[in-house]
Structure 1
Amino acid sequence: MTDTKDQINYSMIKDDLYQAVNGEWLKTATIPADHASAGGFMDLNDNIDKELMADFADLQKHATDAEGPMAEFLKLYALAANFQKRDQDGAAPLKPLLKQIEDLPDMAALNAQLSNWVKMGLPLPFNFDVDADMKNTSVNALFAGVPGLFLPDKTYYAKDNPAKDQLLTVFSNMTQQLLVMADYSSAEAEAIVKSAIRFDENIAPHVKSAEESADYSKMYNPMPFSEFAQSTSELDLTALAKDLFDQVPEQIIVTEPAYYQALAGIMNLETFDDMKNWMLVKTINAYSSYLSEEFRQTGSTFGRTLSGRKATTSQQKSAFYLASGVFGQTVGDFYAHKYFGDKAKADVEHMVKQMIAVYKNRLSTNQWLGEATRQKAILKLDTLELQVGFPDHIDQLEYKFKITTAENGGSLMQNIRQISEISRLDNYARLGKPVDRSRWEMSASTVNAYYHPFKNIIVFPAAILQAPFYSLDQSSSQNYGGIGAVIAHEISHAFDNNGALFDEHGNLNNWWTKEDHEHFQKLADQMIQEFDGLPFAGGKVNGKLTVSENIADAGGLSCAEEAAKNEADYDLKAFFTGWARVWRTKATKEYQQLLLNIDVHAPAELRANVQVKNLADFYTTFNVTETDGMYLAPEKRVTIW
């Protein structure tokens, strides 16, 4: 039997929940040429983009009436959309940067201008960032990060990875073409790219893979700055820090110590020419999307190959993405005030309270937590902060961005470089100052949600609070299967294998007894095993890479179900089918394979199907038995929270 309204084939649910709910949709759904996927998240995002682009087209007609960041956003949007000027400018806005790199004769010359180099955001084999000290999250600390690779992950550089040569060929051809467009000869371009790849390959063995990076508690490796500065004898990191931060910090948190132990072998007089070419390649790729249409199309080749997208984003949409990416809070504030209602906010806040109550009850009655750990867990839950809809005010940083229009001689790239420098210096200026715990990491127009372990806070932007995740027109059970599970998922991140290492203040602090943590780790290992090796898109799921998100999914779905059952009109069929519906996704094979390698989330289809198998109510609701495809033996079902 198929429900024609929702296109749900109920007779299939016992064998494949995801296909039963989404099969009819999958038959007819098409992936837009400029997308790698279509589905709940992406379709909702596209609708919001369409609404906002229409809104801002109207605002552009009265741009002189706009004030503050909105006025500057409209200027940047117009500049980004002015492809006639971008085509006229060609490579000219980029050439001074490329020449600055070319003109470096040696490491001493780089050292002499190192501070300006960092402020301008020119590429280096190291970088600084200021963020909350993971063991004292009330204060901002200095972090040392590592450079990104040309390929998506270090595992792509392995000799036995069949994708390595194919992707490097695409990347090389694209970059050589970009360099020729910037007036290098073909021979020069080929030599530059070959040299740059050699330097990138030297970096790869010393940085973490996506799987290794998934355990972000291992980012916290504090050391005296004086010791860190000895990572290289070629560059004066002490003088650099003094210039950037007015004084040399006593301490720096090194996210990947193994990389900095190898830095002297990576960056030295012998590798200088390769490093220079690596900088040239990094720079021309980073800025290609801000130049002419030819640069933009050519520069997207590698990304399109990775994701399977058939076309580059349209000019108008790319201009919107660029400008809204810079003025995210401004755009989000506009969106929230126009499209987000108080009734929806109140309803979602009610659901959050319901979910927290369920979690609290579960922690209170948990059979494997010791009393000391239980009380600390409840304290963390009681301290959890909530932000729904949009922030109280636009981030002050966006008030600092002043756009020089084309009429006043400004180019898109010049403005982006200036904004980048202002943002970087704003970040550096926070060192040693109190952390602003109210600061949002996402725009209110973003279809997403997050838990911030350093702040112990959950945030739900206005954009995600609509169908299929949430609607006042949907039943409470449908909403709990959608946004309810998302809410509980974010709460669960406070108690996943990463979040569980942070206390109620967001500090990296072990609040577990040894016995309780060992038991928790055994449960986490079961979750790893449940997903590890599952076949998908010609590859296999990495259970270690996806474990934190899978723990959050499991806790989120289970708690959302219990909360749904607390409502008078609960309907578990609607709950489970609502859960499966939000994960409907159609994606290119290339994109699916890319995500298998680098994404901490399991594939959407498996998120929908695997987690429900852990819940007893799923079996009774749909009468699932041992002979059915959705059956999982009780001893293999994983329950953590």
Structure 2
Amino acid sequence: MSAQTKINEALLKDDLYQAVNGAWLKTAVIPADKAATGGFYELDQNIEKTLMHDFDAWLENKNLPADRPTQEFVKYYQLAADFAKRDQDGFAPAKKYLDRVLDLKDLADWQAQWTDLNLEKFDAPFGFYVQPDMKNTSQYALYAYPAGLFLPDKTYYEDGNEQGQALLAVLQKMLHELFLKAGYDEEFTQKTITQALAYDKLIAPFQKDSTQRADYVKSYNKYSFDDFKAVAENFDLGAVVTELLNATPDQVIVTEPNYFANLDQFVSPDHFEAMKSWIFVKTLMSTTAFLSDDIRILGGTFSRALSGSKEAMKAKKAAYHLASDQFSQVVGLYYAHKYFGPTAKADVKQMVEKMVAVYKKRLANNDWLSEETAKKAIVKLDALGINVGYPDELDPLYTKFVVDEQLNLLDNAVNFTKVATKDNLERFGKEVDRTRWEMPAHMVNAYYDPSFNIIVFPAAILQAPFYSLDQTASENYGGIGAVMAHEISHAFDNNGAQFDEYGNLNNWWTEADLKHFQELAQQMIAEFDGLKTEAGTVNGKLVVSENIADAGGLSCALEAAKGEKDCDLRAFFISWARIWCMKSSLERQKLLLAVDVHAPHTLRANVQPKNLDDFYTAFDVHENDGMWLPKEKRVHIW
């Protein structure tokens, strides 16, 4: 998408998004193997092409870097790209994993094998992971969480949800074809699929929906170990945990208490056969990406129905993604060092620090925060960590991945899963490592981590249309500047604001300030709730945290842009609208409306500028214009 896309001047007062992006949208074509295209996606596709080109030489053992993690990545990529061998093997590599599920005799047998099954990430109705204790982020703690469903969210199972019924039909058809291709007879196929889908529907009502999960502070529910063990009578939760950790924890943090309070209703002798069928189907689906090309394509049918992608990726591209996802930080460091480098890293970090300084000034001059709360907010901002481009060192986990070239692709993947799972569990009780990055450097994205109180900007997003030396300062502030300030704002959204400067869940607000902040958050919910898109209506509560961050980010970036000597407000807002340019399938839009905490891209581009007085000045917007919002309805938080 060119930054020089023609602007429709006549539309600027009525629809900023269409005025800036309409000409591009008319001709843009979504790649057949993608669900969307636009600013983020075109960058991602360019990186994909660049890295695949670079790695082609490595596959032929040309110019191969000497470091071991990169060499192991190439070995794995070679296995993934060897479709002659994969096609020859067919379903055979998956059979031993499927047989292991079929051989489970009863609940006691499943419990006896639970640790080994968990290490290989066989699905179960519940699971565990180790991450920082949200109230003491210097230490790792054990969390318990519910199973993932076949459908994206429990609401898809509700009566009258036509989308859920349509997706279930696609899933059933795909599974039927996979079972037969794997050599299972019709009777076993029908029985297993029916039981698996019934079990998924059985556990769904006990889970939170996406809106409830968006309030992630409520996922912190600390149980003593004795209380946690007592939630189930049909099997020994305590034995499962102590064997898994090789230790006895004092506590377990439960993300969804209602789900665990009802475990005995669906993890029981009466439901064991249905549960086993559910595990079998989950296992089957998880293996298809590592098998023959026809199985890979068939196994992706359901995910393509969810996203609206018209075709599966070509074999070579699928192999690239499979291998680069497994070695993501290795690939990311290669990309960053070759295409970003230390000079750009330092330059962008200075820009982030400038945005932090602007944010600090805004907090100090805020007209609704008390002096006491404002001072604590600035303390949190002063402690904010800034990670730009790429980590200084490779995560040690990736040095543990060693390819066994005598084994097939799936067996190597399972071995890597064991290594990664053990690595996570071994953190339990240890001091937290705050240097770990959650995103690789070649990912076009950014994030704020409330438990570490850090913002992270991978190298891949630090280019046009977000940021470029060829763009004016106003354009850069409307792009990457707003993204930077968006991530800073997450420290003060409805979730992030509940964490202190150390990343601990800890209220630092006065009672009056917190009440007023919650009222402002409710205004943001109301501003978006019920807005119509071609895919349906917006759930304001689901998207409130990202909208608070968008509002804070845009207003803060605007102030920074106005501080430059040649500020161009038009260019600033046009740049903002341009970065949200996107064309996506209707299926993807429907999915995101149901589960994504971000507002639809058209609304991100159009609604937030309406809250800022400078927007009306820049484009001479008045009461009868489409972009007009009455002053009393404009939401201002940060």
Q: What TM-score does the superposition give when structure 2 sets the normalisation length?
A: 0.98
| Pick aligned residue for 2:555 from 552, 555, 558 | 558
Q: Please give the alpha-carbon distance, in whole angstroms, between the structure 1 residues aligned to 2:328 and 2:235.
A: 36
Residue deviations 1:336-366 (CA, integer Å, cap 9, x gap): 1100044432332222122111111111111
Aligned equivalents of 1:303, 1:215: Cα separation in 2: 26
1: CA distance between counterparts of 2:86 and 2:13?
56
In the alignment, the residues of structure 1 paired with residue 118 and residue 65 of structure 2 have an alpha-carbon distance, to the nearest angstrom, of 37
- 1:204-283 aligned within 5 A: 204-283=204-283
1:91-149 per-position Cα deviation (integer Å, ceiling 9, x unaligned): 11111111111111211111222221212211111100000000000100000011000
Pairing 1:481–2:469 present: no
3-state DSSP of counterpart to 1:94: helix
Gaps of 5+ in 2: none
**Could you say what secondary structure the match of 2:419 adopts?**
helix
Residue 337, structure 1, aligned to residue 337, structure 2: yes
| Cross-structure match for 1:453 | 450
Q: Contact 1:545/1:599 (CA < 8 Å) preserved in 2?
A: yes
Q: Give yes or no for the alignment of 1:59 onto 2:58.
A: yes
Give the counterpart letter for 1:224 in structure 2.
S
Give 1:392-403 correspondences, 5 Å limit.
392-403=392-403
Runs of 5+ unmatched residues, structure 1? none
Look up the match of 1:116: 116
Q: What is residue 44 of structure 1 aligned with on the other side?
A: 43
CA distance in 2, matches of 1:633, 1:211: 29
For residues 295 and 380 of structure 2, the distance between their equivalents in structure 1, rounded to whole angstroms, comes to 50
- For residues 134-533 of structure 1, the aligned pairs below 5 Å read 134-405=134-405, 408=406, 410-533=407-530
1:571 counterpart = 2:561: no
SS in 2 for 1:238: helix
User: Deviation per CA, 1:63-100, whole angstroms, max 9, x where unpaired?
Assistant: 66633100000011111111111111111111111111
TM-aligned CA deviation for residue 196 of structure 1? 0.6
- The CA distance in 2 between the partners of 1:93 and 1:270, in whole Å, is 32
Letter paired with 1:435: V
Contact 1:108 1:234 in 2 (8 A): no
- The answer to whether 1:22 aligns with 2:31 is no
8 Å CA contact 2:335, 2:442 repeated in 1: yes
Do the aligned partners of 1:470 and 1:479 also contact (CA within 8 Å) in 2? yes
Q: Which residue of 2 aligns with 1:595?
A: 592
In the alignment, which residue of structure 2 is the partner of 1:83?
Answer: 83
In percent, how many aligned pairs have the same letter? 54
User: Who is 1:34 aligned against?
Assistant: 33
Q: Return the alpha-carbon distance in structure 2 between the equivalents of residues 112 and 460 of structure 1.
A: 44
Amino acid at match of 1:29: A
In the alignment, is the contact (CA less than 8 A) between 2:3 and 2:465 conserved in 1?
no
Distance 1:365 1:538 in 2: 40
Amino acid at match of 1:466: Q
1:553-588 per-position Cα deviation (integer Å, ceiling 9, x unaligned):
000000001001111221111111000111000001
SS in 2 for 1:515: helix
Cα separation, 1, equivalents of 2:47 and 2:420: 26
In structure 2, what is the Cα distance between the partners aligned to 1:59 and 1:101?
A: 38
Q: Does 1:631 align with 2:633?
A: no
Deviation at 1:4, TM superposition (A): 10
Q: Distance in 1 between matches of 2:415 and 2:24?
A: 45
Q: What does residue 616 of structure 2 align with?
A: 619
- Distance, in Å, in 2 between the alignment partners of 1:255 and 1:623 is 49
Amino acid at match of 1:418: N
Shift of 1:276: 0.5
- Which amino acid letter does the alignment assign opposite residue 12 of structure 2? I
Instruction: For 1:274, give the aligned amino acid.
Output: A
Letter in 2 for 1:49: E
CA 1:374/1:33 → structure 2, altered by over 3 Å: closer, same or farther? same
Q: Taking structure 1 as reference, are residues 481 and 428 closer, same or farther at Cα in structure 2, changes over 3 Å only?
A: same
Counterpart contact for 2:524–2:544, Cα < 8 Å:
yes
Contact persistence 2:5–2:23 (CA under 8 A):
no
- Opposite residue 581 of structure 2, the aligned amino acid is R
RMSD (Å) for aligned C-alpha atoms: 1.2
Query: How far apart are the structure 2 equivalents of 1:164 and 1:356?
Result: 44
